[in-house]
Amino acid sequence: MQAEPSERFRLLVERAASGPASALREVSGPARLLSHIDADGISSASVLAWLLLELRIPFHASFVKRFPEDPAKELGESYGLLIVSDMGSGYRERLSGAASRARVIVVDHHEPVGETPEGVEELNPHDLGIDGGQEVSAAGVAYALFRATLPDGPRPAHLALLGAIGDVQSRNGFSGVNEEILRQATEMGLVEAHTELRLFGGPEYPLLLALERTVDPPIPGVSGSSSGALEILESLDIPPKTGDRMTTLSDLTEEQRRALLSEIVKRLAAWGQRASPDQLLGTVYTLLTEPPGSPLRDLGTFATVLNACGRMGRADVGLALGLGRRGRALEAANRVLSEYRRELAQFLDVLSEVQRVEGGVLFVDGRGRLRDTLTSPVASIAARSPPEEGVLLVAVAAEEPENPGRVKLSLRLTQEGGESGLDAGELASRAAAELGGEGGGHSAAAGLSIPASELQRLLALLAESTRR
Ligand code: C5P
């Protein structure tokens, strides 16, 4: 029988207390913090940065797209500690050089590969029989380390939940360690969960703006259009204002809410998108410390903001938000989010010109048009509404500016691909090994980086694997 969520969380805290937490107390000199650029990378780095601030350990944080070949190069003369978060376990052998020069702590939830080198303190749920893919994010693991180091200190449980939401661990509610973290956040009065329509900004955000700004899924004629958002409300007799303030989802009657949901599903279906009410309706998490009307009050939206910051090269803004800065940091985040949306929409407008179907693969060639950090959202969006039946896999390519001659690809299964039993992670690691690249991931979402000269061979290999 599986242990209770609280027991599983306790296991993680105990492991943290026996290794990494004591290493943190013995550190001399400033720390170097390396994390991943996605929402979980920024959330986990925020927890760790908060902890270092509490411990009065000065630090220098950097966000990277993938784990460096030799992380020891990140250590100058003065750093006494290297903390790696949301990566590292998959490349344990690369850590030995750094471990010979400084203390090294790894906080990760990816499947470990190989042995942990001597001198590295690693906290990974997989080592404890806990599924890091589904029940805890890197931010959750960092939160366990925070609790182990400062049991009576602050409890940044909302950041742990943000990481889990960013890594899509909340599709049908949280489970395991995440469930326990949510229980703690709720008990503290930090977070409240409700079933609600999942729109940008959450239940207390102005509905007119929420409709205009929702891009997951994009609502035809409404997303990105203020007149379209107004029109859908008017068609349902929902006034955009209630008294002297903007109407929010929480103001709607049950009947109005149902009518809005069915209207959105109808519009998606009219555009050939198979959206089910379940995709639009779900648990939303309200961060009670944020004022109503702030986009960060909805944890799903907060995760979207962090993701946009990381992908647009402004993870520093995301870190500032994670650490509780608002004011100018929030203004900067709003600008980054608009720019992210604009860039994404611009590329989606030309999608039909740069895509082709080969076998069961929809290949989107973003080279020269798309930044390499945006292949992931484009692949996720394209996989939700493939142009024809029989498309099992979407592959989106872009050039890597830091590695001339290499391309980055994001792979996503379509619904049909998921039903066919295909495994994108397995495909990515096999193709990468065969073509002199690097890659991996999960069954529904994976990525790889290969020499550009191998792109044709990759497509042939993917097309072959998807032929039925
Ligand atoms: O980059 P993207 O979001 O498309 O990646 C999807 C998944 O594939 C992520 O979970 C990431 O960790 C994994 N991946 C990987 N190796 C790469 C690129 C992505 O394991 N080179």
pLDDT greater at residue 441 or residue 379:
379
For the full predicted model, state whether its pTM sits above 0.85: yes
Q: Residue 275's pLDDT is what? A: 66
Alpha carbon distance 143, 147 (integer Å): 6
- Cα distance between residue 298 and residue 293, in whole Å: 9
Tell which atom from ligand 1 comes closest to the C-alpha of 411. Answer: 4
440 lines ligand 1 (CB under 6 A): yes
Q: Is 201 left (phi over 0), alpha (psi -120 to 50) or beta?
A: left
Closest atom, ligand 1, to C-alpha of 412? 4
Residue 169 is predicted with a pLDDT of 92
Phi and psi of 63, rounded to 5°?
-115, 130
Q: Distance between CA 314 and CA 330 in Å, rounded?
A: 12
How is domain 351-466 classified at the CATH fold level? Diaminopimelate Epimerase; Chain A, domain 1 (3.10.310)
Q: Report whether pLDDT(278) > 80.
A: no
Give the residue whose CA is nearest to atom 9 of ligand 1: 441
For ligand 1, whether the C-beta of 438 sits within 6 Å is yes
And the tokens for 460?
Answer: 């042939």
- Closest C-alpha among 240, 238, 128 to residue 177: 128
Q: How many CA atoms lie within 13 A of 114 on its CB side?
A: 12
Residue-wise pLDDT tens digits, 343-395:
998 998 899 999 999 999 999 999 999 999 999 999 988 998 888 899 999 99
Residue predicted with more confidence, 162 or 225? 162
441 Cβ below 6 A of ligand 1? yes
Average pLDDT of the chain is 94
Q: Is 166 in the pocket of ligand 1 (CB under 6 A)?
A: no
pLDDT at 284: 95
Rounded to the nearest 5 percent, the helix, strand and coil shares of the chain are 50, 20, 35
Query: What is the domain partition of the chain in residue ranges?
Result: 5-161, 195-347, 351-466
Which residue among 66, 370, 372, 429 is best mutated to probe the pocket of ligand 1, counting the most ligand atoms within 8 A of its Cβ? Answer: 66
d(CA 75, CA 153): 29
For the structural domain made of 5-161, what CATH number should be given? Answer: 3.90.1640.30
Q: So what's the pLDDT on residue 297?
A: 97
State phi, psi for 113 to the nearest 5 degrees.
-125, 125
163: nearest Cα among 148, 196, 187, 185:
185
Confidence of residue 2 (pLDDT cuts 50, 70, 90): confident
Nearest residue (by CA) to ligand 1, atom 11, is: 441
Residues 316/323, Cβ–Cβ less than 8 Å = no
Ligand 1 binding pocket includes 437 (Cβ within 6 Å):
no
